[in-house]
A and B are shown apart, each in its own frame.
Chain A
Amino acid sequence: ETGVTQTPRHLVMGMTNKKSLKCEQHLGHNAMYWYKQSAKKPLELMFVYNFKEQTENNSVPSRFSPECPNSSHLFLHLHTLQPEDSALYLCASSQEVGAQETQYFGPGTRLLVL
């Protein structure tokens, strides 16, 4: 039973649509992450929030826009996506950002861009 939930689990959208992914963690953690997972590729870190402040933005295109209203919730707003953005989007949380911090993952949102 995971302490990190994500909605929706599956999403199909056209390139002109706007949608949002939601992540919620029930673990009392202070750091939250967005990852992109494509088939047979390493997890790609997209954004990191520590105590609601964005600390990392790994050259992610502006069509992806994160929002972290509090330490328990994280959103990823999507607009004018491309077919190559189709992937599994994983949210994770950890107590803080640090070397030994175990990250706990949500089940992901499977996104298909047509």
Chain B
Amino acid sequence: AQKITQTQPGMFVQEKEAVTLDCTYDTSDPSYGLFWYKQPSSGEMIFLIYQGSYDQQNATEGRYSLNFQKARKSANLVISASQLGDSAMYFCAMREGRNTGNQFYFGTGTSLTVIP
């Protein structure tokens, strides 16, 4: 089974509107971390937001928020008030507890296009 699943290969959103990028994960480890990264066409991976499995509240960072539904094993990224500069690939990632392994597991990504 895939550790991280991103089912939306491509998404479009109108400028200034909100958009949700889906991410589901698979782990039996009670301790894990979830991360979202943005990769613009320039290629560099930019860290956006982190959610720990024991965090009680959904993480927020500026216009980014993470809709964390632990029972459903989903960690969707919400971008509010989309801007043209948000057009990029977005990757969801997971790191399990240190006793489980050293890898970060990345999804296949979602390409977001913001339409003026």
A binds B: no
Q: Which residues of B contact A (CB under 8 A)?
A: none
Q: Which residues of A contact B (CB under 8 A)?
A: none
